[in-house]
Amino acid sequence: MDSSGQPLIVLKGVTRIFGKGQAAVEALRGVDLRIDAGEFVAVMGPSGSGKSTCMNILGCLDTPTAGSYLFKGVEVGELSRNSRALLRRHYQGFVFQGFNLLNRTSALENVELPLIYRGATAAERKRRALQALETVGLKGWETHTPGELSGGQQQRVAIARAIVTGPEVLLADEPTGNLDTARSREIMELLTLLNRESGITIIMVTHEPDMAAYAKRTVRFLDGRVASDERNGRGN
């Protein structure tokens, strides 16, 4: 949350339609959502409920067909593809279900990748990447490639890559979808820690109520609309 008191994310009547005419599919039908800095939001809902489309829009990978998406007060729908890429680069981190690491590339180089695009010096890159890897508990694994790491470790590398630039928001799309329960809990504890210690806003899509319970707030999607939005009793 910045000092102006402005919310981090505001969606107003966001609609997203794929295709045209008869074949048109309405993935989002007027979504209103407000997320403040420092929140930890779990997004739930059945397949086809529009939560992934909403995540793509939140991550500036896609733009609304109608409605408004304000990120830090900026109307994202009006930005060019390049400006949206810069927004992602400077304020957002991504964690995916499938880890999406570059294979045959060491953990360190994977984590360095966003810093290369930000134009950091080699020394700076290395320092921050090592630090991020330490934060996610992978000290000593820097030279291992994804193929040599377990699923849980790969997801930690992905999280390190997402937070290495110090983003304001971390967008996680089913980060525990490919992991067993024990590994999933470790990842959720890591995210909780990041949210609490670094104050990073986390928006996470998940199918599992157990994982959603780690968040402070749960938003449920149904048929392209927000069906429910409630604070979690457990919280942190």
Q: Which residues bind another protein (CB under 8 A)?
A: 56, 59, 61-62, 81-82, 85-90, 92, 94, 96, 100-102, 104-105, 109, 113-114, 116-119, 161
* CB of 189 vs another protein, minimal distance in Å: 25
Which CB sits closer to another protein, 65 or 192?
Answer: 65
* CB of 58 vs another protein, minimal distance in Å: 13
* CB of 235 vs another protein, minimal distance in Å: 30
Which CB sits closer to another protein, 105 or 150?
Answer: 105
CA–CA gap between residue 103 and residue 236 (Å, rounded): 35
* CB of 117 vs another protein, minimal distance in Å: 5
**In this structure, are strands 217-222 and 225-231 parallel, antiparallel, or unpaired?**
antiparallel
Which CB sits closer to another protein, 92 or 218?
Answer: 92
Which CB sits closer to another protein, 146 or 218?
Answer: 146
Closest C-alpha to 52, from 140, 173, 198, 133: 173
Which CB sits closer to another protein, 36 or 109?
Answer: 109
Which CB sits closer to another protein, 17 or 213?
Answer: 17
* CB of 118 vs another protein, minimal distance in Å: 8
* CB of 93 vs another protein, minimal distance in Å: 9
DSSP string, the chain: --TT---SEEEEEEEEEES-GGG-EEEEEEEEEEE-TT-EEEEE--TTSSHHHHHHHHTTSS--SEEEEEETTEEGGGS-HHHHHHHHHHHEEEE-TT--PPTTS-HHHHHHHHHHHTT--HHHHHHHHHHHHHHTT-TT-TT--GGGS-HHHHHHHHHHHHHTT--SEEEEESTTTTS-HHHHHHHHHHHHHHHHHT--EEEEE-S-HHHHTTSSEEEEEETTEEEEEEE-SS--
